[in-house]
Amino acid sequence: MIENFEETQKYKLILNEINGEEKSITGIQKSLEEKGINMHRLVLTGYLNAMVELGILKEKEIKPARIFSAAGQNRHDIYSIVGSSMRKFDEENAGYNSLQVLYYLFERPIFTRELERCSVNIPTKNTRTINSQYRNDYVKKLGEADIKIPVSSVLLEPVDFDKAGITKLLNYILASEYDLRKYMVVNTNQKTLD
């Protein structure tokens, strides 16, 4: 009976380890091991998959890892909004378009980790790598928003910055997220061909 009780409590241990953060399977496993709880990776993966299916956890892929977070949290952040909209707008160029939008909105170079959070491919064309003296400031600021930037994350800027194109992308994002038609007057006096 005690064994069954321990089995039913494992999901609570996993939730406690995630504790409002986003963590990989390896990160969760290491945290549990540090507390003296040894759980085989396959068993842990099974629990995580079941918790995703039950709606307790959310899963997202940030290559090469699968990242888990508590489902009760609002993970509808700027990165998921931009990434989702840019994939719908133009799947092939979603990475570059996401870079342009974030660069415009944040008024700074964008970390590759931020693009990974958008779930888009890292663009390789029409971008330049930046070595900014403000990198540590950016990392600190993002850390305050619970966004961890690894040392290996590179800062990128778009080479050809097109404000008219950005306006079109931002309009698409807003129209994707909100029903803008309720604020618009549709011209019903259109001319027809006779």
Q: Is the bond into 109 cis (omega within 30 degrees of 0)?
A: no
Give the tokens for residue 61.
């892929």
Do residues 66 and 138 make contact, with C-beta atoms less than 8 angstroms apart? no
Least confident range from 23-27, 98-102, 136-140: namely 23-27
Q: The tokens of 161 are what?
A: 């910055």
Is 187 inside a domain boundary?
Answer: no
Whether 101 and 15 map to the same domain: the answer is no
Radius of gyration of the chain (CA): 21
| Domain endpoint, select from 38, 54, 70 | 70
Domain C-terminal end among 49, 70, 91:
70
Banded pLDDT at 189 (limits 50, 70, 90): low
What are the structure tokens assigned to 87, written together? 């994939």
Q: What share of the chain is helix, strand, coil (3-state, %, to 5)?
A: 55, 10, 35
Q: Residues 41, 133: one domain?
A: no
d(CA 174, CA 114): 20
Instruction: Tell me what pLDDT residue 7 has.
Output: 53
Give the SS3 label for residue 51. helix
- Among candidate residues 121, 76, 77, the one with its CA nearest the CA of residue 98: 121
Q: Tokens 């990242």 — which residue?
A: 67
Of 54, 70, 86, which residue sits at a domain end?
A: 70
How confident is residue 192, by pLDDT bands cut at 50, 70 and 90? low
Shared domain check, 85 and 47: no
Residues 171 and 87 in one domain: yes
Give the pLDDT confidence of 158-170 residue by residue, as tens digits: 998 888 999 999 9
State which residues form the domain around 21. 2-70
Evaluate whether 82 touches 114 at the Cβ level (below 8 Å).
no
The pLDDT tens digits of the residues spanning 28-75 come to 899 888 888 888 899 888 888 888 877 678 888 887 888 888 776 444
The sheet with strand 127-130 has its strands ordered as: 110-111, 155-158, 127-130
**pLDDT for the residue 39:** 86
Number of domains in the chain: 2
Confidence of residue 181 (pLDDT cuts 50, 70, 90): confident
pLDDT, tens digit, 9 for 90 and up, residues 6-24 = 555 677 778 778 877 788 8
